[in-house]
Structure 1
Amino acid sequence: MRTVSAAETAPTTHPWAVHTEQLRVRAGRHLAVDGLDLTLGTGVHGLLGPNGAGKTTLMRALATVLEPAGGKLTLLGESVDGRADLRRIRRGLGYLPQQFGFYPRFTVREFVEYMAWLKEMPKATVPGAVQRAIERVGLADRAGARLKTLSGGMLRRVGIAQAIVNDPALLLLDEPTVGLDPEQRLDFRELLRDLGVDSCVLVSTHLVEDVVAACGDVVMINQGRLVFQGTPDDLVAQGGDGDAGDSPAERGYSALLRRDRAGACR
């Protein structure tokens, strides 16, 4: 019996969790992501953009739900193409879509356990991982409750629990704060910061203030193209007193959107 080194047991790391080059993705017949160049590493990244900007389509492509129509997509060091082992990539992913399906008669614990099984987690690790995920989203006292009895905000937290149960290297959260009250949103921001220490977390949201408070990197897209990527301070610096918004970050966002639209009209 040989001794196993620390290097062999350490988690696999990648220079970039997400790397795209001229990525194109269709939503039906519409080219919703059009020539996107994007690189994301460890940390919390906020994805902003108006309705119809391509945010959800991009998230679905990164979750390997949609196949790219062109360009290059690399996730966790592996190119996503016709030869990719999607099952292996998906073991390292966590994904919360805008609307996620669930079985109403399942309890919180049963549902998160079921999702852990779908993610092919080792059987021995599942009970502890499920309990930890439920506790992290503040539902330990409702672990035995059936999903059909939960409020919309609680269901959203169950969705977050299933997304993080496998400690994903790449976590994709599409509008995760919908239905959360102000206190729960504050707790969620703290959870995001904790998750971003070791993982790449991408959060799509319309709430600019959530991005500024919880994210170290801001990505903004419009019409499927990259408009801006930088720190929250960089975002704030884009705006001025004459721009629309109730906060410096919102004014920066509206200024970027206004300039992008003006450029597209020329």
Structure 2
Amino acid sequence: MVRTVSAAETAPATWPWLIHAEQLVVRAGRQVAVNGLDLTLDTGVHGLLGPNGAGKTTLMRALATVVNPASGRLRLLGQSVTDPAGLRQVRRELGYLPQHFGFYPRFTVREFVEYVAWLKEMPKSAIPGAVQRAVERVGLADRADTRMKTLSGGMLRRAGIAQAIVNEPRLLLLDEPTVGLDPEQRLDFRHLLRDVGVDSCVLVSTHLVEDVAAACTDVVLIDAGRLVWQGTPAQLAQRGTAGDAGDSATERGYSALLRAHRGQVPA
């Protein structure tokens, strides 16, 4: 007997926040790298800024479900990361590019992206088309059958971005994605971010404040594992003065907020 499927069952899932962290604590070895962080993010492109040692990479690893929180609450796409069933669903809809990613050197670009699509439990029939689209979006269509071990650093990074977007993720996490990209490739990457961020939550960790200003709808600034400030790139630019360090208004705003947080200057 054929069962009638209701509209509610076929409607896209919606959640109050795609990332929701409350008093999140995450350790990196013996050190507390994320310390009581409260953070909520929804659809859009969000830039994660902070100095070296601020906890950015550890936070990204926690959001990617690579490491477990030590305490606090973390919900991704409406699911608790402590629920095994919910965790599996999140991982199907997650894309992640770490700073350093592994691959089999003899894999071609296409084989590498296909392998990640398989890990994401994508339908077998959908994988070839999804892989081709991902490779084309990062400008590697002419290198799809080239072995990974022969690629330049910038091409490897683009292959890493391709594997992160192959499943058209609802949550995309990119840790220092523009390392090794030339200026033209960075412009293409910004366009890709804006395109993906229309329907997904994209979080980009970077030291390049100008990439955040050009591509992101929202900025998250952390220091010592805590949230310092959250707002738009335009608001960030307004926080600085001519006396603050930086070559642009956004860089000066970044410097001003960090110094204020550390009690060095008035907020």
**Category of TM-score, reference length = shorter chain:** over 0.9
Partner of residue 243, structure 2: 242
Q: Does 1:156 align with 2:154?
A: no
- Structure-2 separation of matches of 1:6 and 1:138: 38
Partner of residue 200, structure 1: 201
Aligned positions, number: 264
In the superposition, the TM-score normalised over structure 2's length comes to 0.95
Question: Kindly tell me: are residues 234 and 127 of structure 1, through their superposed partners in 2, closer, same or farther at Cα, counting changes over 3 Å?
Answer: same
What percentage of residue pairs aligned between the two structures are identical? Answer: 78
Displacement of 1:261: 1.6
Displacement of 1:218: 0.2
Partner of residue 212, structure 2: 211
What code does the residue aligned with 2:65 have? Answer: T
In the alignment, is the contact (CA less than 8 A) between 2:79 and 2:87 conserved in 1? no
Query: How do 1:166-205 and structure 2 match up within 5 A?
Result: 166-205=167-206
- Structure-2 separation of matches of 1:165 and 1:152: 20
In the alignment, is the contact (CA less than 8 A) between 2:80 and 2:87 conserved in 1? no
Displacement of 1:3: 5.5
Secondary structure at 1:87 match in 2? helix
Secondary structure at 1:100 match in 2? coil
Partner of residue 139, structure 1: 140
Displacement of 1:80: 1.6
- Structure-2 separation of matches of 1:193 and 1:8: 29
In the alignment, is the contact (CA less than 8 A) between 2:80 and 2:86 conserved in 1? no
CA-based RMSD: 1.5
- Structure 2, unmatched stretches of 5+, are none
Displacement of 1:260: 1.3
Displacement of 1:259: 1.1
In the alignment, is the contact (CA less than 8 A) between 2:26 and 2:70 conserved in 1? yes
Secondary structure at 2:100 match in 1? coil
- Structure-2 separation of matches of 1:126 and 1:241: 52
- Structure-2 separation of matches of 1:28 and 1:82: 23
In the alignment, is the contact (CA less than 8 A) between 2:237 and 2:250 conserved in 1? yes
Partner of residue 251, structure 1: 252
Displacement of 1:89: 1.4
Partner of residue 130, structure 2: 129
- Structure-1 separation of matches of 2:118 and 2:68: 24
What code does the residue aligned with 1:92 have? Answer: E
Which of structure 1's runs of 4+ aligned residues deviate more than 3 A? 1-11, 82-85
Deviations 1:83-139 (A, max 9, x none): 554222100100000000011110000000000001111111111110100011010
Secondary structure at 2:262 match in 1? helix
Deviations 1:208-240 (A, max 9, x none): 000000000000000000001000011011100
Secondary structure at 1:262 match in 2? coil
